[in-house]
A and B are shown apart, each in its own frame.
Chain A
Amino acid sequence: MFDFGAIFQGLGLGFGVAAIPVNILFCFLGCLVGTLVGVLPGLGPTATIAILLPMTMTLSPVTGLITLAGIYYGAQYGGSTTSILLRLPGEASSVVTVLDGHGMTRRGRGGAALAIAAWGSFFAGTVGTLFIAIFAPLLAEVVLKFGAAEYFMLMVLGLVASVVLAQGSVIRALAMVAIGLLLGMVGTDQNSGQYRYTFDSLELLNGLPFVPLVVGLFGIADILVALEKSRAGEEPQQTGAIGKLWPTRAEARRAAPAAARGTLIGLFLGLMPGGGALMSSFVAYSLEKRISGKTGDFGNGDPAGVAAPEAANNAGAQTAFLPLLTLGLPSNAVMALMTGAMLIHGIIPGPRIISNQPTLFWGLIASMWIGNLMLLIINLPLVGLWVQMLKIRYRYLYPIILIVSLVGIYSVEYSVMHVYLTAMFGILGYVMNRWKCEPAPLVLAFVLGPMMEQYFRRAMLVSRGDLGIFIDRPISLFLLLITVALLVGIAAPHFRSFRNKAFAE
């Protein structure tokens, strides 16, 4: 079943690619800049990647994606750092880390908590990388047999699942999916050459550009929302003492098995569309809570409560790449950004990547591991520096973010029009935030829309217009049934109350 020879050969090829100086350098820079921006108040991984995306456009595809992956890990790690030291989760998936992480900081064990988070993440990252290396070629083989009908149903399932399994109102997320699909149709229709929704603009003939869309929705909208929140006045953050960066033997003994359990949970939940990393850290935390029972001081600075969710969300962050690299299906906003980056480089994510672009595929996998290693080596010693970053007041920060974003957008195609589009999508993102709509489903649909339309039209061509093709083919029927089950499930009161409880934390 597994072709280990090919996997080792592939990993060898990958490390050969990832280890050339340029790629090591950019992996390093990506991790560094990702952490730097990730620790800044109010900037989560998605916004960080969106803002820095244009900067990677001038690089070669492999180097660009390696840099982006580095930024992603760095930003995630930055989020953990602020949760542990400041009770400020940089992203939803490190919310549970706050409880025990900051608990350790209050006892003067903040340094140990950071080290446990870093080691746990590194362990989870290593296992996650191996997991992808083993299962990706296998899964890609299966998917290669898919026809247009199966592909279409797979994407529908991916979209619906990412809506149902994520937080927030399902119906609003579905409306955002529809808007994302419509935005994805702007440009020239591939089959007929008809211009759609271009409003006579020459620059829109190739479709709405991706970078202004995501920088506007995630970056600029973030600034607008943060400015509004900062009205109440702001004080620079007070950090707790970091203490020694080395866990005691007892702490390590407590953390190690928790990290292993968290990794296992993260591996599988990370594959789920939607809140993969979020769900995995939450589930891992509640499992540890159950295991430790009432005896320990769980919730007040237990190393297990740091190790498990951190390992889980890192393993989840890792395996989220699997559906993208094998099915071409981005499962969350960050993966949608990766898809966009690939498409701009002319790479179509999907099962053919492994055979057609082996250097890219294996290079990216190898650099995932190198990126995790770098976080451990460079970030732990630099924690003091990151903490200093937190003292910057937001009023001096957002102009910097704005200038970096704008120059980045402009430099992709030196198009002034892209700058104006960014302003437009920034306002749209702000309004969406006000109206409690998540931007992630919109971006996912925007990325998947054009492909879905092609597959749907091809399937209709094959079946001569008979919608029954989606039911007649067994794999397609199976995917359809899961989709329907998810939609029915969300309407059922029992599941809905469970979901509300799960995201209440």
Chain B
Amino acid sequence: MGRDRTWLPLGISCIILGLAAIAIARDYPYGSVTAMGPGFIPTAVSILLIFFGALILAGRGRDVPESADGGEIAAPAFSPEGPWRAIGSITVSIVLFGMSIKPLGLPITAFLVVLVAGYAHSQMRIWPLLTLAVLLSAAATLVFIGLLGLNIGTLPRVG
């Protein structure tokens, strides 16, 4: 059992985010209380955020119940069991979708996205994954372009 340890990164992130938001808002006219400029409220909310961040730091994790691991991940972050495998491959698959949907069209894009996203699950085997990718690619094309008539290309754009 351990007390929550996530308060430190969380509190610091809130304060950094608040400070950054204030710094950016310095470029916006502040105005007066009667006629507020666009910079007034962002600055006020940022100060609130910094205040809450400070409170989280002051609470030192007493604001959430204790948990077995104190909120930390047991496995090392970059090991196959760590969270980076899932975060990495899902994020890459989404970015891949964004990059290829226009030039390559839906069927090829969906196939590639499923292949990359499949890597996120440690127990995924290659043949079931390939089958799933082909099936999903066909089903998505059929439903979204055939049935719903979305304006997405089916084939790679030439030239």
> Is A402 a contact of B9 with CB atoms below 8 Å?
no
State which of A2-10, A327-335, A382-390, A407-415 sits at the interface with chain B: A407-415
In the complex, are the beta carbons of B21 and A192 less than 8 A apart? no
Flag if B52 contacts A175 (CB, 8 Å): yes
Measured CA separation A364–B101 after assembly (Å): 35
Q: Mark A410-428, 1 if CB is under 8 A from B, else 0.
A: 1100101101101100110
Name the interface residues of A168-207: CB closer than 8 Å to any CB of B. 168-172, 174-175, 178-179, 181-182, 185, 189, 191-192, 194, 196-197
* A228: interface (CB < 8 Å): yes
A227 to B38, CA, bound (A): 42
- Which residues in chain A, 369-415, are within 8 Å of chain B measured between CB atoms? 394-396, 398-400, 402-404, 406-407, 410-411, 414
The reply to whether B25 and A406 form a contact with Cβ atoms under 8 Å apart is no
Which B-chain residue is minimally distant from A410 (CB atoms)?
Answer: B101
Given known contacts A227-B120, A398-B121, is B98 in contact with A416 (CB within 8 Å)?
A: yes
Known: A182-B21, A228-B86, A399-B118. Contact between A411 and B29, CB under 8 A? no
Assess the B64–A169 pair: CB atoms within 8 A.
yes
Let me know if B38 and A427 touch, CB within 8 A: no
Does B124 sit at the interface, judged by CB under 8 A? yes
Closest to A422 in B: B94
In the complex the two chains form, is B93's CB within 8 Å of A402's CB? yes
CA distance A395 to B133 in the complex (A): 12
CB-CB nearest in chain A for B149: A58
Indicate if A107 sits at the interface (CB-CB under 8 A). no
Instruction: Determine the distance from Cα of A422 to Cα of B91 in the docked complex, in whole angstroms.
Output: 9
Question: Provided the pairs A396-B128, A398-B121 are in contact, do residues A460 and B71 lie with their beta carbons within 8 angstroms?
Answer: no
Q: Which residues of B contact A435 (CB under 8 A)?
A: 6, 9-10, 71
Given contacts A220-B94, A395-B121, are A192 and B132 in contact (CB under 8 A)? Answer: no
Q: Which of B56, B65, B98 has most A Cβ within 10 Å?
A: B98
Question: In whole Å, how far is A133's beta carbon from the nearest beta carbon of chain B?
Answer: 33
**A169-B64, A172-B10 known; A419+B38 contact, CB < 8 A:** no
B156 at interface by CB-CB < 8 Å? no
CA gap between A414 and B93 in the complex, in Å? 18
Are B56 and A175 interface neighbours, CB within 8 A? yes
Q: Does B108 contact A (CB under 8 A)?
A: no
Closest B residue to A181 by CB, please name it: B45
| Cβ contact within 8 Å between B94 and A457 | no
Query: Does A233 reach chain B (CB closer than 8 Å)?
Result: yes
- Within 428-473 of A, Cβ neighbours of B (below 8 Å) are at 430, 434-437, 453, 456-457, 460-461, 464-465
Output the least CB separation between B43 and chain A (Å). Answer: 11
Taking a contact as CB atoms under 8 Å apart, the answer to whether A171 and B86 are in contact is no
User: Chain A: interface secondary structure?
Assistant: helix
A60 beta carbon closer than 8 Å to chain B: no
Judge whether B98 and A427 touch: CB under 8 Å: no
Closest beta carbon of chain B to A177's beta carbon, Å: 8
Bitwise, B7-29 to A at CB < 8 A (1) or not (0) is: 00110001001100100110011
Flag whether B105 is at the interface (Cβ < 8 A).
Answer: no
Instruction: Using A460-B33, A460-B34 as known contacts, say yes or no to A182 and B42 having CB atoms under 8 A apart.
Output: yes
Per the 8 Å Cβ criterion, residues 141-159 of B in contact with A are: 144, 148, 150-152
> In whole angstroms, what is the CA distance A303 to B148 when docked?
43
Assess whether A145 is interfacial by the CB under 8 Å rule: no
Chain B residue with minimal CB distance to A445?
B45
**B37 proximal to A (CB < 8 A):** yes
CA distance A414 to B6 in the complex (A): 38
Residue of A nearest to B125 (CB): A395
Chain A 197-253 interface residues, beta-carbon cutoff 8 Å to B: 197, 220, 223-224, 227-228, 230-231, 233-234
Distance (whole angstroms) from the CB of A469 to the closest CB of chain B: 11
Whether A426 contacts B91 by the Cβ 8 Å rule is yes
Chain B residues within an 8 Å CB radius of A436: 4, 6, 64, 71
Query: Would you call A179 and B71 a contact (CB within 8 A)?
Result: no
Partner of A420 from the list B52, B65, B95, B102 (CB cut-off 8 Å) is B95
Known: A169-B63, A170-B63, A434-B71. A465 touches B32 (CB 8 A): yes
A172-B41 CB under 8 A given contacts A402-B93, A410-B101 = no
Q: Which residues of B contact A402 (CB under 8 A)?
A: 90, 93-94, 113-114, 117
**B114 near A403: Cβ-Cβ < 8 Å:** yes
Bound: A150/B99 CA distance, A: 47
Contacting residues, chain B, for A407 (C-beta < 8 A): 106, 110, 140, 144, 150, 152
CB distance from A288 to the nearest CB of B (A): 27
CA distance A434 to B7 in the complex (A): 11
Kindly list chain A residues whose C-beta atoms are within 8 Å of the C-beta of B114: 399, 402-403
Query: In the complex the two chains form, is A230's CB within 8 Å of B121's CB?
Result: yes
Contact status of A179 and B17, CB under 8 A, knowing A398-B121, A407-B152: yes
Complex interface: chain B residues within 8 A of A172 (CB): 10, 56, 63-64
Which of B97, B114, B150: most chain A CB closer than 10 A? Answer: B97
Verify A171–B55 contact, CB threshold 8 A. Answer: yes
Residues on the A chain within 8 Å of B64, using CB: 168-169, 172, 436
Task: Look across to chain A and name the residue whose beta carbon is closest to the beta carbon of B17.
Answer: A179
CA A192 to CA B27, docked complex, whole Å: 14
Inter-chain CA distance A224–B73, complex, in Å, is 14
Listed by A's residue number, 15 A-B pairs whose Cβ atoms lie within 8 Å are A168-B64, A175-B10, A179-B14, A182-B46, A189-B38, A194-B37, A196-B38, A224-B87, A404-B140, A419-B98, A420-B95, A420-B98, A423-B94, A423-B98, A427-B87
Taking A231-B81, A407-B140, A423-B94 as given, write out 4 further A-B residue pairs in contact, using a Cβ cutoff of 8 Å, ordered by the A residue number. Answer: A196-B42, A224-B90, A460-B36, A465-B33
